[in-house]
């Protein structure tokens, strides 16, 4: 039997929270439902060291970097089955590189676990073919950067499932950039980027075509 | 040397340089450095202005001015700057024009410090305007100098 499911505000809210309303039970595979619940579980996880950090004197820098990396790797492991091994290894390498003590600028915060959880949710939802270059804000928010020629998309992964993004695309006619920015829940990231052709940033093929086309 | 003066506007035709750590360099998925992230120009919560160094504070050719500025910036840090970090260079007029196009009138002024006399500041920079920071990163600070390419002071 087939039928049409009409999305309502209530059942969309439930889906964003990883809950499948009865009318949706048949529409999604068990794997999809399991993935949504697992990602949602990240929202409530606490770092094993977070309580210690509140109670104990401030740790030295090397320990704080180590703890931040350990927490990020633990979160990554919890969704590892949904990540291509090569991508997962690259991600972990990049996180190591961002927390290199020799490169670290004093007074910066290491990666915040809640920001990294938002990043993982975004990557699982968007599943970009092109992975981002990674950076960190002063506050320890992970930053993802996609660059095609001179065009740039930058996403800051905020705590509590929010993302802030800005993109610049150069107009072929006048060679001037057009800039757009937004701030949305991570569950609405794809929707927010839809007017700006997400595949242009996230697909290898689209990026290649742009780079090869005459300006 | 007796150039500028505290609070004086830097000449439009001059250039400024800013340290950018590895975490705020723009990279591709293979960690090749492409430029600067918008966050390289973001004020910290406790900062009133964006710290920069005035290249032309120093005499000599441009290469010398860059080298002397980098040495001065290095001297203000307690530990050596990372080998993968870099410096962003931008023209004063272009910085002001870029900010103005985003609705902000900034001042680029000399703010000498005892251990860094070429230190300067971008004042009245909005704290959290990601569009403006993106414009600074791509249109105003257009030149990158790698830290590793500037040799140490003898």
Are B35 and B138 in contact, with CB atoms under 8 Å apart? yes
Nearest to A131 among B29, B35, B79 (CB): B29
Q: Which of A91, A94, A96 is nearest to A70 (CA)?
A: A96
Does the structure show a pLDDT above 50 at A52? Answer: no
Asked if A103 and B42 come within 8 Å (Cβ–Cβ), the reply is: no
Has residue B65 been placed in a domain? yes
Asked if B27 and A131 come within 8 Å (Cβ–Cβ), the reply is: no
Average pLDDT over every residue of A187-200: 92
DSSP string, B89-148: EEEHHHHHHHHHHTT---EEEE--BTTBTTEEEEES--SS-HHHHHHIIIIIEEEEEEGG
Average pLDDT over every residue of A74-103: 94
d(CA B27, CA B33): 4
pLDDT at A106: 84
How many angstroms away from the CA of A149 is the closest CA of chain B?
Answer: 10
B32: left (phi over 0), alpha (psi -120 to 50) or beta: beta
Q: Looking at chain A, which residue has its C-alpha nearest residue B86?
A: A103
Total residue count of chain A as it appears in this document: 215
Structure tokens, A199: 């595949």
d(CA B96, CA B54): 15
Q: Please give the residue range of the domain that contains residue B23.
A: 15-149
- Helix residue ranges per DSSP H, A43-109: 50-55, 61-78, 85-98
Asked if B82 and A107 come within 8 Å (Cβ–Cβ), the reply is: no
Structure tokens, A96: 């190591």
Chain B residues 81-140 within an 8 A CB cutoff of chain A: 82-85, 130-131, 133-135, 138-139
The SS3 assignment for B66 reads: helix
The SS3 assignment for A146 reads: strand
Q: In terms of C-beta density within 10 A (0-12 exposed, 13-18 middle, 19 or more buried), how is residue B55 classed?
A: buried
Does the structure show a pLDDT above 80 at A55? Answer: no
The 10s digit of each residue's pLDDT in B29-50 is 999 999 999 999 999 999 999 9
d(CA A211, CA A208): 5
Q: Using alpha carbons, list the distances in angstroms from residue B154 to A19, A29, B71, B74, B76.
A: 64, 66, 11, 13, 17
Q: In terms of C-beta density within 10 A (0-12 exposed, 13-18 middle, 19 or more buried), how is residue A120 classed?
A: buried
Number of domains chain B contains: 1
Tell me which chain B residues have a C-beta less than 8 angstroms from the C-beta of A181: 130-131, 134
Has residue B4 been placed in a domain? no
- Which of residues A7 and A64 earns the better pLDDT score? A64
pLDDT at A35: 56
Has residue B140 been placed in a domain? yes
Kindly state the percentage of chain A with pLDDT values over 90.
61
Number of H helices, E strands in chain B: 3, 8
Nearest to B134 among A134, A137, A179 (CB): A179
**Residues in Cβ contact with A131 at an 8 Å cutoff, skipping those fewer than 6 apart:** A87, A90, A91, B29
Average pLDDT over every residue of A146-152: 94
d(CA A3, CA B110): 70
Asked if B23 and A94 come within 8 Å (Cβ–Cβ), the reply is: no
* Per-residue pLDDT tens listing for chain B (154 residues): 558 889 899 999 999 999 999 999 999 999 999 999 999 999 999 999 999 999 999 999 999 999 999 999 999 999 999 999 999 999 999 999 999 999 999 999 999 999 999 999 999 999 989 999 999 999 999 999 999 999 998 7
Has residue B108 been placed in a domain? yes
Asked if B138 and A138 come within 8 Å (Cβ–Cβ), the reply is: no
Q: Which of A109, A139, A179, A116 is nearest to B42 (CA)?
A: A139
Output DSSP code: residue B78: S
Tell me which chain A residues have a C-beta less than 8 angstroms from the C-beta of B135: 168, 177, 179
- Which of residues A209 and A164 earns the better pLDDT score? A164
pLDDT at B64: 97
pLDDT at A155: 98
d(CA A206, CA A1): 38
d(CA A66, CA A79): 20
């Amino acid at each position: 039997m087939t039928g049409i499911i009409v999305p309502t505000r209530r059942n969309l809210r439930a889906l964003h929270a990883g809950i499948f309303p009865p009318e949706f039970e048949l529409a999604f595979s068990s794997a999809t439902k399991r993935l949504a619940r697992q990602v949602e579980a990240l929202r409530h996880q606490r770092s094993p060291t977070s309580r210690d950090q509140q109670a104990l004197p401030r740790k030295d820098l090397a320990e704080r970097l180590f703890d931040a990396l350990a927490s990020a790797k633990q979160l990554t492991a919890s969704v590892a089955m949904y990540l291509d091994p090569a991508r997962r290894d690259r991600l972990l390498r990049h996180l190591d590189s961002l927390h290199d003590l020799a490169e670290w600028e004093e007074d910066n915060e290491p990666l915040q676990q809640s920001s990294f959880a938002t990043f993982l949710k975004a990557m699982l939802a968007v599943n970009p073919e092109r992975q981002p270059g990674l950076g960190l804000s002063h506050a320890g928010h992970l930053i993802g950067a996609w660059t095609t020629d001179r065009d740039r998309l930058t996403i800051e992964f905020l705590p509590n499932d929010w993302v802030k993004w800005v993109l610049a695309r150069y107009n072929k006619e006048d060679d001037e950039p057009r800039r757009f920015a937004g701030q949305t829940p991570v569950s609405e990231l794809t929707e927010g980027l839809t007017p700006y052709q997400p595949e242009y940033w996230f697909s290898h093929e689209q990026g290649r075509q742009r780079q090869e086309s005459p300006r | 040397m007796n150039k500028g003066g505290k609070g004086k506007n830097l000449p439009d035709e001059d250039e400024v340089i800013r340290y950018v750590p590895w975490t705020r360099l723009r990279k591709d998925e293979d960690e090749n450095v492409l430029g600067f992230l918008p966050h390289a120009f973001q004020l910290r919560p406790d900062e009133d202005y964006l710290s920069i160094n005035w290249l032309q504070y120093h005499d000599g050719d441009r290469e010398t001015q860059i080298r002397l500025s980098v040495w001065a910036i290095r001297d203000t840090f307690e530990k050596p700057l990372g080998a993968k970090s870099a410096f962003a260079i931008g023209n004063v007029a272009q910085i002001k024009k870029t900010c103005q196009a985003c609705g902000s009138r900034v001042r680029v002024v000399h703010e000498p410090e005892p251990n860094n006399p070429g230190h300067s500041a971008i004042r009245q920079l909005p704290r959290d305007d990601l569009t403006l920071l993106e414009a600074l990163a791509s249109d105003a600070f257009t030149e990158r100098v790698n830290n590793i390419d500037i040799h140490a002071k003898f």
